[in-house]
Amino acid sequence: MIIVIEGFDQAGKRTQSELLARALRTKKLKCKIFSFPDYSTPLGKEIKYYLNGKRKFPPQVIHCLLAANRWEKLKEIQDALSKNYILIIFAISPLTLSKAFQKTSILPTLYPTA
């Protein structure tokens, strides 16, 4: 089973993932948490440079990097699934990482705050 929690930066995804994992473990269920972007990988480092303004990429490239960053962890994900772990994956929404989308009015429509 894979459970995905997606949202904006600092929205509480890690907190909710950890609370969920704790609840599952109290029921004697095995679980593993994955976080994306995973900044420990080569592509994750490029994403981090982008977010820190040290790299510039077109929106299409950053979206490809985000997808490829997940592929970098594929073996770990497959291994955990083969051992019947419940996977909790939390990720920043790709829309929030695209500087192009941040400058449009689409975000308030997709993610209203009120």
Mind listing the pLDDT tens digit for each residue in 75-84? 999 999 999 9
Question: What was the pLDDT predicted at 17?
Answer: 94
> Which residue's structure tokens are 């420990």?
40
> What pLDDT, on the 0 to 100 scale, is given for residue 96?
63
pTM to 2 decimal places? 0.74
**Domains of the chain, with CATH numbers?**
2-110 (3.40.50.300)
pLDDT in tens, the chain (114 residues): 999 998 776 778 899 999 999 999 999 999 999 999 899 999 999 988 988 889 888 888 888 898 899 999 999 999 999 999 999 998 877 666 654 445 544 444 444 444
Q: Distance between CA 72 and CA 18 in Å, rounded?
A: 23
C-alpha distance from residue 7 to each of 13, 28, 103 (Å): 7, 28, 18
Q: How many CA atoms lie within 13 A of 11 on its CB side?
A: 14
